[in-house]
């Protein structure tokens, strides 16, 4: 697709706006516990997860489309912030008012781009959010796997903040990973049991 000089100005403005994702803090930390992870580096890590775990993808999954979804998936947090999965006892993430705010953010942010490109990116983000296509299901499974691995490797510091139990992780995280990465869930489920058996939860 060819773009005009105005298009290039709009594209560079979008890319500058995207810089703000580097300042959105997430609930989990880096593995070395030095600080909270931000949503931009989390997004990069997920694209690497997609490349590395591509062999686990089910039939019909196009890894290149999955990677594109993951690059875009958190840009709405520039306006809305990260809503931790386990905050408000698991009720905030996915609440209708958060979903409406994220949809508005997507329209504003992708609306900075030339029209056809903005529509293409918005559609890809909407497909990810809906989690119905093979690509979106795989992408969502990766998005649940990476924080689980970060939490297991950092003694559950991100979980303790929200008093997260073993059952919470199984229902909010395991249910999603199972859809797209069943073998990875089997592998991590064992480690999760060990973590909570050792008393790895708030105040224990």
- Give least dist CB 126 to its own copies, A: 16
Q: Are strands 25-29 and 36-38 parallel, antiparallel or unpaired?
A: antiparallel
Q: How far apart are CA 173 and CA 52, in angstroms?
A: 20
Our CB check for its own copies shows the closer of 53 and 139 to be 53
| Residue 123, C-beta contacts closer than 8 angstroms, at least 6 positions apart | none
- The site string for its own copies over 112-131 (x = CB under 8 A, - otherwise) reads -x---x---x----------
Our CB check for its own copies shows the closer of 8 and 130 to be 8
Our finding on whether 20 is near its own copies (CB under 8 A) is yes
Cα 81 to Cα 20, 57, 67, 75, 84, distances in angstroms:
11, 29, 22, 9, 9
Q: Residues in contact with its own copies, total (CB under 8 A)?
A: 52
- Give least dist CB 97 to its own copies, A: 28
Burial 60-92 (b: 16+ CB within 10 A, else e): ebebebbbbbbbbbbbbbbebebbbbbeeeeee
Query: Which spans of this chain sit near its own copies (rule: CB under 8 A)?
Result: 1-3, 5, 8-9, 11-12, 14-16, 18-23, 30-32, 34, 37-38, 40-41, 43-45, 47-49, 51-56, 64, 67-68, 71-72, 113, 117, 121, 146, 149-150, 153, 183-184, 187
């Amino acid at each position: 697709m060819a773009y005009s000089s105005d298009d290039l100005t709009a594209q560079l403005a979008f890319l500058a706006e995207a810089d703000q994702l580097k300042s959105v803090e997430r609930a989990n930390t880096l593995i070395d516990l030095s600080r909270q992870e931000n949503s931009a580096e989390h997004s990069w890590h997920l694209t690497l997860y997609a490349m590395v775990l591509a062999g686990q993808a089910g039939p019909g999954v196009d890894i290149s489309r999955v990677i594109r979804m993951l690059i875009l998936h958190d840009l709405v947090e520039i306006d809305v912030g990260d809503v931790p999965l386990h905050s408000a006892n698991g009720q905030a993430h996915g609440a209708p008012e958060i979903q409406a705010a994220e949809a508005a953010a997507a329209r504003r942010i992708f609306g900075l781009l030339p029209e056809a490109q903005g529509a293409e990116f918005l559609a890809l983000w909407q497909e990810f959010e809906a989690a119905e296509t093979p690509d979106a299901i795989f992408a969502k499974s990766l998005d649940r796997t990476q924080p689980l691995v970060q939490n297991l490797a950092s003694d559950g510091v991100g979980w303790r903040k929200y008093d997260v139990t073993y059952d919470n992780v199984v229902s909010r995280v395991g249910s999603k990973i199972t859809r797209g990465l069943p073998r990875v869930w089997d592998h991590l489920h064992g480690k999760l049991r060990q973590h909570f058996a050792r008393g790895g939860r708030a105040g224990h």
